[in-house]
A = this chain, B = another copy of it.
Amino acid sequence: MEFTLSRLAELTQTEPKGDKQTMLRNVATLKDAMAGDISFVSNPKYKRQLETTKASVVILSAQLAENYDGNALIAKDPYLTFAKVVRLFNPPKKPAASIHPSAVIDKLAVLGKSVNIAANVVIEKGVNIKDGVQIGAGSYIGENSNIDQDTLLYANVTLYSDSQVGKNTIIHSGVVIGADGFGFVLQEDKSWYKILQVGNVVIGDDVEIGANTTIDRAALGSTNIANGVKIDNQVIIGHNVKIDENTIMPGGSLVAGSTNIGKRCQIGGGVAIAGHLEIADDVMITGRSMVTNSLKTAGVYSSGITTEENTKWRRNAARFRSLDKMAKQLNQLEKKLQDKENTDGE
Contacts and interface: CB of A to CB of B under 8 A. Distances in A.
Contacts of A192: 228, 230, 246, 248
Interface stretch (A15-23, A56-64, A83-91, A107-115): A83-91
5 contacts: A80-B193, A87-B196, A142-B155, A303-B313, A320-B323
B172 A173 contact: no
A220 interface: yes
A140 to B, nearest CB: 4
Interface stretch (A4-12, A66-74, A126-134, A326-334): A326-334
A300 interface: yes
Contact of A220 (B29, B246, B314): B29
A270 B250 CA distance: 16
Interface residues of A, number: 126
Nearest to A157: B156
A233 interface: yes
Interface in A223-263: 228, 230, 232-234, 236, 238, 246, 248, 250-252, 254, 256, 263
A187 interface: yes
A116 interface: no
Interface in A314-346: 314-324, 326-327, 329-330, 333-334, 336-337, 340-341
Interface string A292-309: 110100011111111111
A307 B285 contact: yes
Contact of A102 (B104, B196, B330): B104
